[in-house]
Copies of this chain bind each other. A is one copy, B any other.
Amino acid sequence: MTATEHLFLRACRRQPVPRTPIWMMRQAGRYLPAYRAVRAKASFLDLCRTPELAAEVTLQPIDEFGFDAAILFSDILITLPAMGIDVAFPEAGPKIGKPVRSRAEIDALHVPDPTRELPYTLEAIRQIKKGLADRVPLIGFAGAPLTMLTYAVEGGGSKDYAHTKKLLYGAPQDAHALLDKLARTCATFLEAQVEAGADAVQIFDSWGGIVSPGDFREYPLRYAKRVIEMLRASPTFKAKSVPIIYFVNGCAPYLDDYASSGADVLGVDWRVGIDEVRRRVGDGVALQGNLDPGALFAPPAEIRARVADILARAGAVGHIFNLGHGVLPETDPEHVRAMVTAVRELSAQA
């Protein structure tokens, strides 16, 4: 089977598939005992920056569950230190010592050269590709500009995104200057990941869903589009016809605009019906999602019923099964297996 024939890539392109492919956001992560064993020996950041370890944990869920795609083990914040923003990763969540809030601080940031400044990620990709031996495709990823702005400006998690909104609405020119740098960082990094071997890329707009529909067009969508346009213009992307996935967590309010991102695949979080999304975004894109990560706390029979419901709503063409957000660390791996089995069995075309 050549790379372009993989189920996952076929579904990204809305080609017919014998069954719906599945992967899972954060599939390499804390819910897996094998991951925790590796993590016990290295800090989170060391794990991201050590190609051998990043490759090892990336492959674990492929070996364990037979997911139809691997996703690079890394973190969307990995680009920030290279841009000039220090980040720490304590257990309570990432923390930025000196959040970026002034124009001078924005102007001081630089767009990293991935080959020179993020070499460990590219090397991890090369090692993962070797380890995969073309069993399944590899997804690279980066944080979308608005989401990266939010982290950089808030300095960590936030309930109300007050600093972000002060910047967006109180100093929009500064916001645009920062978003421009973040868009170039995102595009450059994804291009380098594809050159290193990634077969598809996902742009994570985890915090793209915190604004009104008009501001969605003005900020997250506009800069995601810019990233996607830069990627489409890249010879590397053209040559391999690399699928681009755009994922906005909390996409329900923006469905009339979501498809205009230009992505091949739109990520769908668990809050919205995937059939409603299909109705509103049209047939020109594939959809990826959308089981509630919390639904994996339910008994296996209930998980199976929920999988069946999503498969029926999504239809057989242009659907990649996934959770609507990252798997929760407290999840029982056997419940993950129940989900994978259900998707394989219930989506099989007669």
Q: Cβ of A272 and Cβ of B253 under 8 Å apart?
A: yes
Q: Distance (Å) between the CB of A208 and the closest chain B CB?
A: 11
Q: Cβ of B253 and Cβ of A166 under 8 Å apart?
A: no
A134 is an interface residue with CB less than 8 A from chain B: no
Q: Cβ of A273 and Cβ of B253 under 8 Å apart?
A: yes
Q: Cβ of A294 and Cβ of B252 under 8 Å apart?
A: no
Q: Cβ of B297 and Cβ of A165 under 8 Å apart?
A: yes
What 0/1 pattern do residues 146 to 163 of A give for CB contact below 8 A with B?
000000000001011110
Of all chain B residues, which has the CB nearest A270? B212
CA distance A302 to B170 in the complex (A): 10
CA distance A285 to B31 in the complex (A): 45
- For A214, list chain B residues within 8 Å (CB): 309
CA distance A215 to B270 in the complex (A): 10
In chain A, positions 292-306 with a C-beta closer than 8 Å to chain B are: 292-295, 297-299, 302
A98 is an interface residue with CB less than 8 A from chain B: no
Of all chain B residues, which has the CB nearest A303? B169
Contacts from A to B (Cβ < 8 Å): 93, 157, 159-162, 164-166, 168-170, 209-215, 250, 252-253, 270-273, 276, 292-295, 297-299, 302, 309, 324-325, 328-330
